[in-house]
Structure 1
């Protein structure tokens, strides 16, 4: 008897809304209680990491974001990978030459946890322009896991977006709110200044910035209502919102006509390789693709 499997690997299926999850406040409460466990323990620049500077982390995290975009990864993969990267860098000193290797390993691990079809070692090596080998990645995967104490689940800013938007009426004012919020959460995870920020704070600020940027009718009251839900200090959230708006304004103002996606990621890999090889790099990394679609 012949068996036919109609499943296609190209399909990306989203789960239907679960009323139990989104109507039970205990779920959101558990996220808030657990998030502090996964926040990076320190600002590692100049302490644990003697050879890595903030701009290097910006470059490599932007490269990670572009790889995720090019491979059409789930939105939740990138924040988790950056969380792994920051937690590892808090625990283990490395040279700048090894930073892209660690970033690639973190992408590999995060895709295994949160992606329905994980990234392959060979694909990630390709995105580094073969500056690292598959054998190196496999060896460092064990090192990263050991430094993370095999704690490969984490609460990220992405996890809060749907829990907030499903509980408020103003989320229906514009269908782009969710997309923009996810984009801004990703942008926050590329910013070295926000390494030790609570995920709930990043999510609150990203949602508020997205609603304001779309000029939704409820823009004036969004920050207060989300802060009450996520137990975030409104002043702290406003500070991050303004930081997001400055970054988006700066990035969009400097946009140039972008090459094709494959060329862009290859160029980013080359730029990252220059930074990791010790070459001085003072320019800004490339703009994450989705930021072009966010208008303030």
Structure 2
């Protein structure tokens, strides 16, 4: 299977202590995040041919593409944010939803990755149901509907801002990986459409911390609420929902990649055929 360039190992800059200790950064994120949250649920009032389960199917496919290509963690939530904002502005047919998802992955990888997902590769992942020309033309359509405003704030942007500000952030690497996994899964849920990214990040960090059975979970909850301005009752409700997502998934140890995926060869790329993604009920057993 040909991989995109970001599937190769990359070098990452160390966290800048100035950036993550300046309260103005976190304050600006909190002040501006409402600009990138859809103002309404487009399934109820705008989209005439789409149903919530269709979004779940396509966003799960987007998650699988990102996992297979080892995309950077910020690509998926950004791509889904583009898709939700676009669907608030343009009524489409159900047959166009996967093409929209592929286009949003292309744009998000250009904005938040060192190397973007090739269009031909995205076409392969759709089993060539869309063409290079389709995605290229839809790229301009999505950009126009988003008014070229691609600097969206997502839950990913809050994770390091929250973790690095507190003593319990000593578990930073492990906690970050689990929180990013939960954020990616949560963004595939319809409930994420109008949920502020600060609340998503707060809930996923809290759920990850508790799932890892790290010490002083009550203090962590208080600290997260203080950092984000989230009410504790809202946080607990969303944490419960995140836990339900994990508990409701099928428990199964992933098979080796060589036997788990089946590929259909066509031209330069092979198109993978996926099964339903599986998430262990215990966060300790999540495979990264």
TM-score (norm 1): 0.86
Tell me by how many angstroms 1:174 deviates. Answer: 6.8
> 3-state DSSP class of the match of 1:46?
helix
Question: How does 1:1-296 map onto structure 2 within 5 Å?
Answer: 10-173=8-171, 175-253=173-251, 255=252, 258=255, 260=257, 262-263=261-262, 266-268=272-274, 285-287=276-278, 294-295=283-284
Q: Distance in 1 between matches of 2:130 and 2:173?
A: 41
Indicate the larger mover: 164-173 or 147-156. Answer: 164-173
Q: Which residue number in structure 2 is paired with residue 276 of structure 1? A: none
Residues 248 and 281, structure 2, Cα contact 8 Å, conserved in 1: no
Residues 29 and 153, structure 2, Cα contact 8 Å, conserved in 1: yes
Aligned length in residues? 271
Residues 173 and 217, structure 1, Cα contact 8 Å, conserved in 2: no
TM-score (norm 2): 0.88
- CA distances 1:16-50 after superposition (whole Å, capped 9, x unpaired): 12121011100000111110000012101132111
User: Structure 1 stretches of 5 or more lacking a match?
Assistant: 1-7, 272-284
> 3-state DSSP class of the match of 2:43?
coil
Q: Distance in 2 between matches of 1:181 and 1:120?
A: 28
Q: Distance in 1 between matches of 2:93 and 2:81?
A: 19
Instruction: Give the 3 Å change call, closer, same or farther, for CA 9–104 of structure 1 in structure 2.
Output: closer
Residues 65 and 186, structure 1, Cα contact 8 Å, conserved in 2: yes
User: Structure 2 stretches of 5 or more lacking a match?
Assistant: 1-5, 264-270
Residues 205 and 223, structure 1, Cα contact 8 Å, conserved in 2: no
> 3-state DSSP class of the match of 2:249?
helix
Tell me by how many angstroms 1:267 deviates. Answer: 2.6
Instruction: Give RMSD over aligned pairs.
Output: 2.1
- CA distances 1:135-178 after superposition (whole Å, capped 9, x unpaired): 00011111111110111110000000001111111121474211
The answer to which structure, 1 or 2, has the higher relative contact order (CA under 8 A, 6+ apart) is 1
